[in-house]
Structure 1
Amino acid sequence: MHCLYSVMIRVDDAIYMVGSGKHGAQLSHATDCNVFVLDGGGGEYALIDAGGGVEPERIVANIQRIGIKPEQIRYLLLTHAHGDHAAGAAYFHRQYGMQVAASAEAAPWIENADREKVSLNAAIRAGVYPADYEYAPCPVTRYLAEHDEVVIGDTVLRVLDTPGHARGHIGFLIERDGRKLLFGGDSVFAGGKVVIQNIWDCSIQDYAATVAKMQQLRIDSLYPGHGIFLAEEAWKHIDQAHGYFERLEIPPNL
């Protein structure tokens, strides 16, 4: 067990990064994606993505460092069902009663821990996860679709369908003070990078359409599933990825 040294990063007003693995800031276990806490106001909080489920106590310690008790976090919003983003959901639901929300397509895969549908077996064969990696089934309280709104306190998050990296992939958009902030999961990353993998649910055509949709939104701040977050002018990085697809090329992989 890793020493539970706690650290978190405040990335915006009321948004904190409390988990990040080997492809990011390494705040928690190597298998974790970037995990964020949103303070929605009015005493309501949400966790955005759950990490890989290995040593989730490290994420808990980082949450506590903010001054928030995990029991206060009512909602867990998942961008997609891959292990590094969703395998930790069962722990947070079981330990703290968090209500899990995911896309209507991905929700049954999470509930059943469908190793084929979440591309876990392929990832284990490729050495991404160890052979004994666990992905526990987790109930999903809310099935989400494009344009749905999730209200956390005084904050409204709008759901965007963003397939490409994965089937059933969604993003969560906040508009406030004339700015657009997006929890983007594994859609687009700093430098206009993407994550295209040889798995059943990854589609280049869907990816191109998602990036085109994001490019039209002119996103100000992007909180991606891996790597560094973008506090300002995230649209410039999205433009880069869009340019590759428009030229019938593939953006660089993260």
Structure 2
Amino acid sequence: MRLTDRVWVIGGGGLGYGLSSHYDCNVYAVDTGAQIVLIDAGSGIEPELMLRRLEEDGIPSDKIRTLLLTHAHADHAGGAAEWRSLLGVEVVAAEYTAGMVESGDEVLTSLAAARASGTYPDWYRLAPCPVDRIVKAGDTIRLGDMSLRVIAAPGHSFDMVCYYCPEWKALFAADAVFAEGKLAVIGTPDFSMDDYRETIASLSRLDVEQLFPGHGTALTGNGGGAVAAAHSRFGQSLPPLSIV
């Protein structure tokens, strides 16, 4: 589904667009002018649904050469091995994420706990996937005629990063912030409200027009308003609004 002239959403489950597996995050396909980049991989459950979305949207699969991961939670990174196998994409992630994805660590990624609570099916496992390129906060990834700045965004998970495109004033926010200023507050060991507060303060200093979150609905205008709303609640010591 096309969101802007350069961004499509090809995946999203129960908390998103309903385009693919119930267990998927929003998966974005971004036209950089030189190639198509995927941001996040989904869960790896029923990957054929996202392949179908690509075909329906007229996105040639042979132009997809890079997959950027935001963090190692299974709904975002569980499909990395599938995309790498199907399309031969270069998998890019920050260091902590890369370690968990490569080893398929179901404890540090909180998948074991989530599966035990019924969030994922009993049979679901995190498929290990090699990471081809490791990035760090502050790096700029140049792709075609646009760039993506890597921004540390711990809180929802300790390893999370966002990707910010200054040319488009676009924030690919993962699970850092959502429409209406909502957050993703969970009870896993890798969650930290103190870190979340600092992350939202950091994101509030960006000039954001387009907001592409990991769940829910993307905002193609006034995306910074959602970040400001979350920042305001922290500033007033109000409990955050959560999507879960």
Instruction: Please tell me the TM-score bracket, short chain as reference.
Output: over 0.9
The number of equivalent residue pairs is: 243
Partner Cα separation in structure 1 for residue 38 and residue 157 of structure 2: 20
Matched, 1:190 2:179: yes
- Matching of residue 202 in structure 1 with residue 194 in structure 2: no
Q: Does 1:240 align with 2:229?
A: yes
Write the distance in 2 (CA, Å) between the matches of 1:203 and 1:150. 27
Query: Residue 74 of structure 2 corresponds to which residue in structure 1?
Result: 83
The DSSP-based 3-state class of the residue aligned with 2:204 is helix
Structure 1 residue 11 displacement after superposition: 1.0
Q: Equivalent residue for 1:12?
A: 4
Whether 2:210 is the aligned partner of 1:221: answer yes
Question: 1:77 and 1:250 mapped to 2: Cα distance?
Answer: 31
Aligned CA RMSD, in angstroms, stands at 1.0
Identity %: 39
AA in 2 matched with 1:186:
D
CA distance in 2, matches of 1:181, 1:117: 30
**TM-score with structure 2 length normalisation?**
0.97
Give the secondary-structure state (helix, strand or coil) at the position aligned to 2:46: coil
Matched, 1:161 2:152: yes
Separation in 2, partners of 1:68, 1:125:
37
* Cα deviation, residue 148, structure 1: 0.8
Query: Deviations along 1:112-135, whole A, 9 cap, x unmatched?
Result: 000001110111122110111121
Partner SS state of residue 10, structure 1: coil
Q: Provide the residue aligned with 1:50 in structure 2.
A: 41
Cα distance in 1 between the residues matched to 2:205 and 2:139: 19
User: Partners in 1 of 2:237 and 2:133 — Cα distance?
Assistant: 37
In 1, Cα distance between the equivalents of 2:206 and 2:59? 32
Checking the alignment, whether the CA contact within 8 Å between 1:149 and 1:157 is kept in structure 2 is yes
Q: What's the CA shift for 1:217?
A: 0.9
Residue 166 of structure 1 and its aligned partner are, at CA, apart by 0.6
Alpha-carbon distance between aligned partners in 1 of 2:20 and 2:242, rounded to the nearest angstrom: 23
Shift of 1:66: 2.4
In structure 1, what is the Cα distance between the partners aligned to 2:165 and 2:140?
10
Q: Establish whether residue 120 from structure 1 lines up as the match of residue 121 from structure 2.
A: no
1:106 partner SS: helix
Provide the secondary structure at the position in 2 that maps to 1:217: coil
- How far does residue 151 in structure 1 lie from its aligned partner after superposition? 1.9
1:25 alignment partner in structure 2 = 17
Tell me, in whole angstroms, the C-alpha distance in 1 between the residues paired with 2:176 and 2:73. 13
Could you tell me which amino acid in structure 1 is paired with residue 174 of structure 2?
A: G
Query: Quick check: 1:72 aligned with 2:63?
Result: yes
Q: Tell me the CA shift for residue 147 of structure 1.
A: 1.4
Partner Cα separation in structure 2 for residue 102 and residue 248 of structure 1: 33
